[in-house]
C-alpha cells in the first residue's frame, strides 16, 4: 500500500508543478525536455545494480521501454493538440478515462477475478473521473473533425499503463525496476530534445534558467510516479485495484489541491464526482480485504 500511496503523491505533484509552470509563464515544452533528463538522473541514482549499455540493450524489456518512451512524447503532443482544438476538459477526461483499457486487459488477459463490489467501484470510478474533470456547465463539446485527437489521447494513455503492466509482469525483475524506468525516460529525453531543437529553430523562443528549474521540479516526481506505480503493481495487490485507486485518488487529490492552492472553482457536477470518487475508492478497497 505504501508504494501505491507514493505513486499517488508523485503523480499529484506533477499536476501541481504543471499548474506552477503555467502561472510563472514557463515554456512547458522546454521544461518537459529538461524533465526527462532529470528523470534519467533520478533513475540513475536509484539503480539497484551495476549495468552497462550492452547489458541494458540485451534485456528482454528494452524494446518495450523504447516504445514507452516514444508513447510518452507522442501522447504529450496529442494532449497539447487536443487542448488547442477541444479544450482542457477533453484532455483531462480522455487521459483519465483511459484507465478502462488496462483494467479490461488485466481482467481478460490475466483472468483477474472481479466481484460485484469491485465492478460497482470501477463503474462509479469512471463516472467520478468524468464528472470531476469536466469544468464547463455544457460538458465537453467535440466536433467530428477533431474527435480523433481525444480518442488518440484515450488510446495512447491506456496503452501506456497496459504496456507497463505487461512488461513488469513478464520481463522486468525486481532489481531492474529502476533501470527499466530510467530507460523509458532516456528514450523520451532523446526524442524530446530533438523536438525541442526543432521548436527552437522555428520559433526562436529563448531557453532560460526558469525552464531548467521547472524541468527539475517536474522530472523528480515524474520519475518516481512511474517507479512507485510499477512497485505498486508488484506489491501483491490486485492490478485492477491498483489502477482504480491510483487514478481515482490522483483525480481526487489533484482536485482538492486545485481548490486549496490555486483557488479553483468547482461546479456541482465536480462535487458529485468527488463524492463518487470517495465511494468508488471505498468499494474497491473493500475487495482487497
What was the pLDDT predicted at 288?
67
| Total count of domains within the chain | 1
198-207 long-range contacts, CB within 8 A, separation 24+ = 199/29, 199/30, 205/27, 205/30, 207/27, 207/30
Q: Is 85's pLDDT higher than 70?
A: yes
Quickly state the pLDDT bin for 183 (edges 50, 70, 90).
very high
Residue 140 is predicted with a pLDDT of: 62
Full domain range(s) for residue 149: 2-286
To the nearest whole percent, how much of the chain has pLDDT over 90?
Answer: 54
Estimate to the nearest angstrom the gap between the alpha carbon of 30 and the chain centroid. 19
C-alpha dihedral sign at 89, 70, 166, 183:
negative
pTM of the model: 0.90
Integer Cα distance of 40 and 207 in angstroms = 20
The more confident residue out of 141 and 3 is: 3
pLDDT higher than 70, residue 88? no
Amino acid at each position: 500500500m505504501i508504494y501505491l500511496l507514493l505513486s499517488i503523491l508523485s503523480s499529484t505533484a506533477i499536476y501541481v508543478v504543471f499548474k506552477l509552470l503555467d502561472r510563472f509563464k514557463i515554456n512547458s515544452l522546454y521544461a518537459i525536455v529538461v524533465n526527462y533528463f532529470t528523470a534519467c538522473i533520478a533513475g540513475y541514482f536509484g539503480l539497484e545494480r551495476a549495468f552497462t549499455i550492452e547489458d541494458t540493450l540485451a534485456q528482454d524489456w528494452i524494446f518495450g521501454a523504447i516504445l514507452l518512451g516514444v508513447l510518452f512524447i507522442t501522447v504529450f503532443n496529442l494532449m497539447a493538440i487536443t487542448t488547442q482544438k477541444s479544450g482542457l476538459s477533453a484532455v483531462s477526461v480522455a487521459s483519465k478515462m483511459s484507465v478502462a483499457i488496462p483494467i479490461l486487459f488485466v481482467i481478460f488477459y490475466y483472468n483477474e477475478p472481479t466481484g460485484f463490489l469491485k465492478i460497482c467501484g470501477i463503474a462509479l470510478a469512471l463516472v467520478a473521473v468524468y464528472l470531476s474533470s469536466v469544468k464547463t456547465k455544457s460538458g465537453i463539446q467535440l466536433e467530428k473533425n477533431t474527435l480523433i485527437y481525444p480518442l488518440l489521447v484515450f488510446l495512447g494513455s491506456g496503452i501506456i499503463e497496459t504496456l507497463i503492466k505487461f512488461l513488469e509482469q513478464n520481463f522486468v525483475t525486481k532489481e531492474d525496476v529502476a533501470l527499466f524506468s530510467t530507460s523509458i525516460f532516456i528514450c523520451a529525453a532523446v526524442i524530446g530534445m530533438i523536438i525541442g531543437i526543432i521548436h527552437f529553430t522555428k520559433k526562436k523562443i529563448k531557453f532560460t534558467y526558469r525552464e531548467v528549474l521547472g524541468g527539475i521540479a517536474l522530472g523528480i516526481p515524474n520519475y518516481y510516479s512511474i517507479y512507485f506505480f510499477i512497485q505498486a503493481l508488484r506489491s501483491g495487490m490486485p492490478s485492477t485495484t491498483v489502477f482504480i485507486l491510483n487514478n481515482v485518488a490522483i483525480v481526487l487529490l489533484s482536485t482538492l489541491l486545485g481548490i486549496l492552492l490555486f483557488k479553483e472553482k468547482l461546479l456541482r457536477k465536480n462535487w458529485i464526482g468527488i463524492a463518487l470518487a470517495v465511494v468508488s475508492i471505498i468499494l474497491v478497497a473493500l475487495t482487497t480485504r
